[in-house]
Chains A and B, each alone.
Chain A
Amino acid sequence: MSDSETTAAEAPQVAAEAQDAAPTETPGGSSPTETPGGSSPTETPGGSSPTETPGGSSPTETPGGSSPTETPAAPPRAPGPRSRGSAQSGSRHRDARRPRHRRPRLLAHRDARRLLAHRDARRPLAHAPEVSTDVAPTRRARRRPEPKPAAEVKETQEVEEPPPKTPSESTVSQAGWGYWGSWGKSILSTATSTVATVGQGLSHVIEKAETSLGIPSPTELSAQVEEEEKQQASSPEGDASSETDGAVGGAMGMFSSLTSVVQSTGKTMISGGLDALEFIGKKTMDVIAEGDPGFKKTKGLRFHNSTLSQVLREAKEQEELQTAEGEASDSEKKVVAHYGMLFDEFQGLSHLEALEILSRESESKVKSVLTTLSGEERLQLRKELESIRESFSLVEFDDEDVDEQKDEDGSEFEEELTKALDGLSVSTTAGKLSKACKSASSLISEMSRPEEEAEAGEELVKKTASVEEVHAAAIRSLAELTARSIELFHKLAEMILFSSGSTEAGVLSQLTVVLCREISLLSKKFTSCLTTAGSNEKRDVLNPLITGVFLEASNSASYIQDAFQLLRPILEISHIQRTADSAEQ
């Protein structure tokens, strides 16, 4: 476990880099715009964007409440219940134009949810490592809380060494940070530098929490998987399927090896860490409120309804913009994988938009039906709707609920998918999804093929498997799988709306669980590939890439879960129609 200490030592280093980076960027006299989302057509996103000005970043914030040991003493729970309340009110408030509000709020919300989950006694401790390794990045990733510093790092690099001359380290790290940065810009486009410091503090906390639990770094984790995979794959048959099995087996091994660690450290540590996160979430809010005059201005609009597709669209636009610029200035940056853009390429955004339309219309139909009813009828319907609602709110998507001993590759996923979708007549879309999944699986097994197998003619292929390429493949696969999942939910919504049969919420939540688990599994396999490909790379090159994959995986999972939630009004109106139909007969 000595490696994990090294990682921990590096974390502040990265943070320090970001801070160092901050002052070098000149605000350039550009006046910070306060119009949220009011980017003028002339705006250039390069480094001159006024919103990026890191004017007075206060580095003292960073270590502030970041030590996990402090955290149990600081458990302000305010953000949690509040955001839960807003979630229950039905509409999910996500305003693309006010990202800085969304971030802490959502963070707090998710944390609160997880906090509850983790305090729940029925959750076996043995699954805890999964929480720490996978969910920690998840939490960090929610709505991209962290990328602000990343964006700064990247920009500074651009300032200091405009065209990276070699495709070596600097490029690599740019690739990794680059796309973080793009998210950073889009999501935090109006946030001021205070956010950066808080963000660092947050990552710091997570890192610390990880180390104090004795949890290895992402690199280490995937290395472990790799090792165990090798052991298993050393058996004679080298065909793809057995390799995939090997990878999964390896992942299994990882969990069991971690179990003991966590059992000894115990639950209090974890919930302590979560308290810390929640605290940070709250603190972020406060700091933003204090440090940003624009906050008050926009506060009134805060609950202005916004949609998931809007958020994604904004993110994607920023990425496109960056790509367009990057192309002109820097051909080396081609490898940068843009999740949002890829997601759109697979029509994920369009399907999401369509799903949102259906969801919104159903929601308003349900409301209007409720207003037309009175007395007993209304009470009865309310009760029925409540039970539908419950089955949507009680779903726990975390991996811990799933039997980890289960082996999975593309085909097993397909099986489960078919089972979950039995009788829902969306086979075409489900087929697309399975294909996407299988293609990702085969990509992984090809990439993780041992050196010797890449014989004549394939040597070239093997050589091109650089970390950036593996990373790009990972991001692309995640984007495709997510887009197809959203498409599936959209198709399901359509089928539910025009068919008179009843669809159980339980089936849909099961489907969501299957999808999220697949995403998580894929991300683990890809990071293990990354570790293999990057065995000669420096840690600070590899780590951001690995974290990036985990980040996108957790984002994927939350998009899928959000899409699942969009189905609730659709089931409600379907239920109402069905009831009305049977009453007529």
Chain B
Amino acid sequence: MHNFFALFQLPEQFDIDMAKLETNFRAIQSASHPDRYVTASDAEKLAAIQTATSANEAYKTLKNPALRAAYLLSLQGITAIAETNTAMPADFLMQQMEWREAIEDAENAKDVSALDVLLGTIRAESKNLQHLLSEQFKQQQLNDATDGTRKLIFMEKVQADIRDIIEKLES
């Protein structure tokens, strides 16, 4: 398995050039496109499919900040998202629960503008967390980075859920 960062010629760090990720992903995608392998041998076809599949996975992982952070940690031998570890700071969970309740109220009231406000608040919090994470990775504070990565997964999930609800209400 190739290193995901190396695959897209990106430095192995939390802050990445998103434009370069897009460009290099598309280049690999088009180079491994089945149309280019019509006359190739079966082995070459298979290799192209494997390249395309692993590029997809690598792209999805690096594009999402929480997954990118978890992947960086995994390269250091750290499992940030072990299923058996459910302990999170109480104030963090309390905040998550309050947001969830506010989202539920807004959804029941079909109040899209309230959902937009919540989404904005949570997105800003998520950005703060990402700035902090970036520093923690630079300083090699991997314990703090692990805690931050775990938080970021919740932040990304709650944002995805709000977007789904807004889409549902607007359709």
Co-complex (A, B): no
